[in-house]
């Protein structure tokens, strides 16, 4: 049974540390699928230790070694793995049952399944229409080379289709309908395919990939900018901060590198030098009132909590995908922020913080809803509140298993409830 964690920070709120982050989960999961599609022609370096990546790696190996007619592939809570494997397994010989946790069975996947079915994939629902678990079986016989998919639901659907495109007999022409959410993640997928020798065309809202062979390549995975965002949050809530994160650079494929631009509004500078980035806090009034998180929704919880803790009544847009993540992240934020007197009000696709009732109790207990980002977004509040209790210390294993150890290195105190 997982324990709750008690966080505190005694003495001067000064942070001076160096933190080595694990490889990007987003890059790793794409690299693993590309490597598997290439049948080993493409290698992967600097694999993440995130639980989602470890799970995907293990399942891909089991699929490669499978000699049975039917294989159950249980990916637990790994949402990226569910989306990517839905497409990947469509091209594999054999029959598969792709399943996950109870929460995973509540996360919609119908749009991706319909897109795959329209080009010839044999997929059916094992339980509820539009949701996992899925029955997937071959042989794949491509019926058409074009598909339409909504751009404002999940970029992972688009990435899943793009990665299998070069392996399709007719290739794929993918038309994105409406506005594309999380565009940097689609660009990341295409850039990694390009590193593996796959060329594409992108005209207006249509991405085209012809059938082609992967070329020998090594995909090097950069440290995780999503994980870096929590150190920016810590810098923002500390009195003084100098934090060095090795391995990160200013030309990242990761959309969450946008945290450097966002946090500049809070006086956190990013100096790229000595093979990494140095975060420094400088006194600066916060002036920016509107934050558009459309291209980096995984940063939303972090930035919302920072603004709330600093009493900054900001407005947020581009949060449409948050309700279908590991939990309904909008509702989770509303519930937990209320514990420090802050309201997070939804109105016409925008969300406004009302910090007029902000207060810091001596102790606060944060529910995490089986969501790693809830735990890590709220943990920095220990710089404002004497004791922060975080539900389920192991929830962070999904993307950043060493988070608590790294916090201890930076001067945070740990205990168990």
pLDDT tens digits along 2-21: 799 999 999 899 999 999 99
CA triplet 341, 235, 23: central angle to 5 degrees? 110
Q: Which long-range contacts (CB under 8 A, 24 or more apart) does 288-294 make?
A: 288/314, 289/313, 289/314, 289/315, 290/314, 290/315, 290/316, 290/317, 291/262, 291/315, 291/316, 291/317, 292/316, 292/317, 292/318, 293/317, 293/318, 293/319, 294/179, 294/181, 294/182, 294/318
Find, among 75, 36, 72, 74, the residue nearest to 53 by Cα.
75
Token output for 245: 């994160």
The domains spanning 5-23+223-416 and 25-220 adopt the same CATH topology? yes
5-23+223-416 under CATH 3.65.10.10, yes or no: yes
Q: Are 104 and 79 in contact (CB under 8 A)?
A: yes
Q: What is the DSSP letter of 210?
A: -
Q: Which DSSP symbol is given to 2? A: P
Contact by Cβ (8 Å): 111, 149: yes
**298 noted as active-site residue:** yes
pLDDT value for 67: 79
Catalytic residue among 57, 224, 256, 298: 298
Cα–Cα distance measured from residue 47 to residue 222, given in angstroms and rounded to the nearest whole number:
9
pLDDT of 350: 92
Would you say residue 1 has pLDDT above 70? no
How high does pLDDT run on average in the chain? 94
Domain ranges of the chain: 5-23+223-416, 25-220
pLDDT at 319: 85
Which residues fall within 8 angstroms of residue 226, CB to CB, at 6 or more apart?
24, 25, 26, 254, 256, 298, 299, 399
pLDDT at 73 over 70: yes
Average of per-residue pLDDT across 102-129:
95
d(CA 149, CA 131) in angstroms, rounded, equals 17
- The confidence score (pLDDT) of residue 195 equals 97
What percent of the chain clears pLDDT 70, i.e. is strictly above it? 99
Measured in degrees and rounded to the nearest 5, phi and psi for residue 122 equal: -105, 95
Q: Which helix (H) or strand (E) holds 405?
A: helix 403-409
Q: Are 326 and 373 in contact (CB under 8 A)?
A: yes
**Helices 79-90/51-65 angle, 10° precision:** 20
Q: Which CATH superfamily is domain 25-220 in?
A: Enolpyruvate transferase domain (3.65.10.10)
């Amino acid at each position: 049974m997982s324990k709750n964690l008690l966080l505190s920070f005694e003495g001067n709120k000064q942070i001076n540390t160096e933190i080595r982050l694990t490889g990007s989960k987003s890059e790793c999961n794409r690299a693993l699928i590309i490597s598997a599609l290439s049948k080993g022609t493409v290698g992967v370096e600097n694999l993440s230790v995130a639980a989602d990546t470890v799970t995907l790696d293990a399942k891909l190996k089991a699929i490669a070694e499978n000699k049975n007619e039917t294989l159950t592939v249980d990916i637990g809570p790994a949402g990226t793995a569910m989306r990517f494997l839905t497409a990947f397994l469509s091209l594999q010989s054999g029959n598969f049952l792709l399943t996950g946790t109870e929460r995973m069975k509540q996360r919609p996947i119908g749009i991706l399944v319909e897109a795959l079915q329209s080009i010839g994939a044999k997929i059916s629902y094992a339980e509820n229409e539009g949701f996992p678990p899925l029955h997937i079986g071959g042989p794949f016989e491509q019926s058409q080379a074009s598909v339409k998919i909504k751009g404002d639901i999940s970029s992972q659907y688009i990435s899943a289709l793009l990665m299998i495109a070069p392996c399709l007999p007719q290739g794929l022409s993918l038309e994105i309908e409406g506005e594309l959410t999380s565009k940097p993640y689609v660009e990341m997928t295409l850039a990694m395919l390009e590193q593996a020798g796959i060329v594409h065309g992108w005209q207006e809202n249509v991405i085209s990939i012809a059938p082609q062979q992967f070329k020998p390549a090594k995909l090097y995975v950069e440290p995780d900018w999503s994980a870096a965002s929590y150190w920016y949050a810590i810098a923002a809530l500390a009195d003084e901060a100098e934090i060095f994160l090795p391995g990160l650079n200013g030309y990242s494929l990761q959309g969450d590198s946008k945290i450097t631009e966002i946090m500049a509004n809070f006086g956190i500078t990013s100096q790229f030098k000595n093979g990494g980035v140095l975060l420094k806090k400088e006194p600066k009034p916060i002036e920016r009132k509107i934050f558009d998180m459309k291209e980096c929704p995984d940063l939303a919880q972090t930035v919302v909590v920072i603004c709330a803790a600093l009493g900054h009544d900001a407005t947020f847009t581009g949060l449409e995908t948050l309700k279908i993540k590991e939990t309904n992240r909008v509702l989770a934020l509303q519930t937990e922020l209320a514990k420090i007197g802050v309201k997070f009000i939804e109105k016409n696709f925008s969300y406004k913080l009302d910090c007029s009732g902000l207060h810091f109790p001596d102790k606060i207990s944060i529910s995490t809803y089986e969501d790693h980002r809830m735990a890590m977004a709220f943990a920095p509040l220990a710089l404002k509140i004497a004791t922060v209790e975080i539900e389920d210390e192991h929830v962070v294993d999904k993307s950043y298993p060493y988070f608590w150890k790294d916090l201890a290195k930076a001067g945070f105190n740990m205990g168990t409830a």
